[in-house]
Structures are given as C-alpha cells and as structure tokens.
Chain A
Amino acid sequence: MTAALDREQARYIAAQAADARINFEIETEGMTLNMGPQHPATHGTLRIVAKLDAEQVVSAEPIAGYMHRGYEKLSEVRTYPQVTTLINRIDWLGSFANEVPFILAAERLMDIEAPPRAQWIRTALFEMSRIANLVLFAGDTGLQLGGQTAAFYGFRDREHVLNQIEAVTGGRFHPNFDRIGGLKDDLPKGWIAETKTAMAKVRDFCDEIDDLVTGNEIFQARNRGIGVIPADVALSYGLSGANLRGSGVDWDLRRDAPCGLVHPELDWKVYTHPDGDCFSRWWIRIQEIREATRMVDQCLDGLPSGPIMAKVPRIIKVPAGEAYVETENPLGAMGYYVVSKGDLGPFRVKIRSASFNNVSVLSWVLRGVYVPDIVAILSSLYFILGDIDR
C-alpha cells in the first residue's frame, strides 16, 4: 500500500466522520431508555420507556399490566366474605386498609353498622397498616436515592407494627380480619400496652429518619424542586393521598368524607405542602406517620367495650343496589363501587385504586426531567404494583 493511497483513504474517512458529526449536531436521534419491568425503583414490575435527548427525558410512557390478576372478574364469582381474601393482595403493604372500604360498602348495602368497639379497633388497625406501609416508604426512598441506612431502619421498625398486627389478626401481610358487621376476633390480652410501646418506637423512627434523611443536603438537592406537580394537574389526573396534599390541595377523605371509621372523633391534623415537588410528598408522609401513631394511641385510649360483631345472618346475602365507598388508604384514595343484585356475591366490583391514578401522571411529570430524577420521582409518587394492576 502506498502512502498516497493511505492519505486518500484517511481523508475519505475524515470527511465521512465530519459529515456524520454535522448530521449528529443537526438532528439528534435520541435514545430510548427502558427501565424495568424488573427495576428496584418500581416495587414490582412497572416498566418505563423513556425517550432521551442526551440526559433529558423527551417523553416517557409507563407500561403496567405485568401483574394483572383480574380481581374485578374474580370478585364476580365469589361470595362477599371470600372477596376480602382477594383484595388483601391489592396493596400488600397495607393490606388491612384494603378490606375496610369493601366491607363498608357491603355494610351500607345491607344497612347494618358495626358496633362501636369494632369501629374503633378497625380504625386502629387501619392506621397501623398506614404506618407499616409508610415506614417502608421512608426507608425505601432513602434507598432509591443512595442511602442504604434508611432502608435498614425502615425494615427494622416496620416489624414493631407488623408484630402487633399479627398478634391480632394472625397475618402479617394478609390479615383477612375484617368481616361484614364487625371483626373476626377481639383484641388479645396485653395488646394495648404493647401497641403503645410500638407506637412510641415508630415516633422515634420518624425522628431518626428526619435526622438521617430529611435534613440531608444531598437528599434535599435531589428532591427539592424536582417533579413538581401543580394542583390543577394533580386534580385533573385524580392523584390522591400525599401526592395530592403535596400539591397544596387540602383534601383528606378521613376528615372530609368520613364513612364508618371513627376519624371524626379523634384529634389529628391533615398536612399539606404548597410546593408539589418530591420533597413535599416525602415530608407529608413522614408527618402522616406521626399523626397515625397519635390516632392509634387515641383509638386505644377511647376503646369502648361491647360486642365486636353486629347481628348478621350466617349466609350473607346483600340486597340489590349500588354503593361506592372510598377511604383514605396509605397510598391514597381507595374505593369500591359494588353493584349487588341480591345474590351471595357481587354482580360487579369496580376497584378504584390509588396507584392507578397516581402512576398515570408519570408521562406528564417525567417530560423534561433528567435521568437520575426519574428514580426520585418514582419513589416519591410511591406506588405498589398490586395497586396499579389489581
């Protein structure tokens, strides 16, 4: 090979490369980033397909459905008491709270009311499942953003609450304890004092996590002003729970549309935050854990005596009608639209789960953010896959 030919070739290659570079500058093709379905930030199997321009997200599409179990269809072939077994598994971190709105809907159709003691115990367990759920959120968010310690604290202190739930219901994750007309059993002996100790431990956890994470500069830098959702967008997408209150909307079903639980009789506070960013959602959830421990304490102090089951027939036939009951669950508003035809089982159950709406906002909120912020936003919106797919 001659030197001249070499030079010729080198020039050709350089021209090609220059062309390519110019083309690259003029129209960037971008790249598609596929997150999941198996990604630790997604609590299950949510897949996110993001089109990137360098580090910035141009458009993102959340893809759910890898865990769809068809509970709405299955409910149609089961009796009312059998349905609670299924719906325990929707939001598996706060299972007891899933049962409550369904049972309340059935009770409304049957026009019966649980006795006061059952209502108070229900509220206590309802708030305890919120604590179990949100304590893990606090730990998990720390983990998503690179702080391992928070996760260990979260898993450690959630045990205190889960142990108490297990002592009453026999199940750590799937209590299946709520019954139409009341509860399966009364509280075991010595449970009240133990639970109060556990609540004190959870309050300590909140202080610890505030020291460890909330005040952390890196954490603040990764969350402040990231993933801002304005109030009108939050309302239009139907966000609920801390995601809605984090956008400054003062709406809590426990206070504003109470049904069957004793929240109006307790002394507690609804927190909102005007910023609408990841940090505000985090902050509200930490305050909610604190409020929930206070509520549990009050429930145990004010616990009335009496029966825990109303008079219900042995075979539960729910009269024909329609009822929609919605409660403020750990992840947000959860409702059951139950249509009955006077049969042993429901004719149709529409499950309105919080995460389905909360995740649908992703394609809006991820537009224009940087890649590392995707994880911060995902963990701050806080969803459980079972709650999206049902």
Chain B
Amino acid sequence: MSADTETEAPEAADGEAEEAEPRDEAREELRDRFAAELGDAVVDSHIAVGHTLWVRVTAEAWATAALVARDHLNCRWFDFLSAIDWLPSPYGRYEDDGLTPPEPIDQTIVTGYAGGDTRFQVFGHLVDVVDHHDIVLKADVPDDTLTVPTWTGAFDGANWHEREAREMFGINFEGHPGLRNIYLPTGFEGHPLRKDFPLISRIVKPWPGIVDVEPMPAVEEPEDDGDAGSTEDAS
C-alpha cells in the first residue's frame, strides 16, 4: 500500500481518500465468509464501521442463511427476529390540529441499509458469543405471497418472534409449527404494526401535545438562525 503511493503520484490521492473513509476489516471478512458459503443468495450488504454488519439475502434463502450463520459463522445465539413495513404511514404522525390543512404525504417506499425491493422486510440478529461478532440478516418478503421460510429449524427461539411478526405484520412463515397470536385476541382483524393500520387512540382523541403547549420551536428556528448575531448581542 505505502509502496504504491510512493511510486505513483496520482494514486497517492486515492490512497488518502481511502484512509479518510474508515474501513472495518473484521466485518468485511465476516461478510465475505458468509457470502462464500451462501453464494448468489446474498443480494446486498452494508457495514456501519465499528458497529454492525447487515446482509440482505433472497427470501428463498432466508432459512438457509440462518443455518449458514449458525454453522459456518458460529453465530449460535439467537437474538431476535422481526419485520418492518417500509410504506410511509398514510396518517402521518397524527399531529394535525384540525386548523391547518394536513400536508400531503409522500408514499414512495425508501428502504434502509442493504436496500430492498418490497414493502415488507424481515430481519434478524445473530451473535457469536465466543468470538464476539454479530450479523443482521435481512430479506425481502415477496409482495404477492407474503411468505418466507421459518427460522424455527435453526433456532427454537424464533418460534415466538415469528408468531409476533405474523400477527403484527401479516407475514407467513412457511414451516412454522403453529402461528397463533401472542398479543392479540384470536380473531383480531388487521395487523397493527403495518403502517396503514391506524392508531385508533390518536383518531378518537387528538394528541394533546398539539393544543396546549407553545408552538413547536421548529417553526421559529430559521428566523433565529437568520439574526443569530443580533440576538446574541442583545442578550
């Protein structure tokens, strides 16, 4: 590395740029080991340097990915499994005071780290308790079937987490021994953590925070910044 930068001047700038962008070699190595085992099923990955590794796999390989992480990366501690609905809520943040017309809500789906093509994603976290590394696995849930393979074959603890994800998001886990509700009463209609499921309490009674306190200072912030110097002098 240093030899290259000494011999060729133009690449020296590149070398500096690389140094400026911190890298996480341990997590890159982990990602490469995982990808080598799983092959084409790995779609994308993301590394938060020094913190977390995200790997997105295809929905078909979701269960295999857990087994690979358990057996080849030694991530034997099951932390959690959950899902996310990337559709922005059509209800906004329920902070309409009824006086100002609500702003139109942009409902385009923007997914997070390691990308995504569907509305729903499942994600889970697995940890190696011996060598102290961990991995967050993600998978797109197909929009038409809303079904991914179960993790219960790899981790017993996934049982309850998948039951929770099923009732809250309506995602099916193929091969799960019994997807009964945990929190909701039997026969409950709808999936509460979906973004298009309204938060009933806010509809019945508007959020009191919007009426009885001073207006959010966010509105005044740009003005403050504009004449920040003069206010500081005055005070």
Contacts and interface: CB of A to CB of B under 8 A. Distances in A.
B192 A70 contact: yes
B13 interface: no
A257 B221 CA distance: 38
A171 B218 CA distance: 29
Interface stretch (B14-22, B23-31, B33-41, B156-164): B156-164
Contact of B52 (A77, A244, A323, A345): A323
A68 interface: yes
Contacts of B48: 321, 323
Interface string B79-108: 110101100110001110000000000000
B51 A108 contact: yes
A235 B129 contact: yes
B52 A236 contact: no
A238 B82 CA distance: 14
Interface string A75-103: 01100000000000000000000000000
Contact of A73 (B78, B88, B192, B207): B192
Contact of B79 (A73, A238, A322): A238
B112 interface: yes
Nearest to B155: A236
A352 interface: yes
Nearest to B79: A238
Given A256-B132, A333-B79, A335-B79, A68 B218 contact: no
B157 A251 contact: no
Contact of B216 (A68, A256, A315): A315
Interface stretch (A31-39, A123-131, A293-301, A356-364): A356-364
A323 B159 contact: no
Interface residues of A, number: 48
Contacts of A113: none
A324 B193 CA distance: 19
Interface stretch (B55-63, B141-149, B180-188, B226-234): B180-188
A216 B207 CA distance: 54
A132 interface: no
| Overall SS of chain A's interface | mixed
A352 B199 contact: no
A65 B199 contact: no
| Overall SS of chain B's interface | loop
Contacts of A219: none
Given A65-B184, A236-B155, A348 B80 contact: no
Contacts of B136: 324
B231 to A, nearest CB: 14
B202 interface: yes
Contacts of B166: none
A236 B94 CA distance: 40
Given A251-B129, A322-B112, A341-B110, A236 B157 contact: yes
Interface of A: 64-65, 68, 70, 72-74, 76-77, 108, 232-233, 235-238, 244, 249-251, 256-257, 259, 314-315, 320-324, 326, 333, 335, 337, 339, 341, 343-345, 348, 350, 352, 356-357, 360-361, 364, 389
Given A68-B183, A337-B123, A348-B84, 15 more contacts: A65-B181, A72-B168, A72-B193, A77-B95, A237-B156, A238-B157, A250-B129, A251-B77, A315-B217, A337-B125, A341-B110, A350-B84, A352-B80, A360-B156, A361-B156
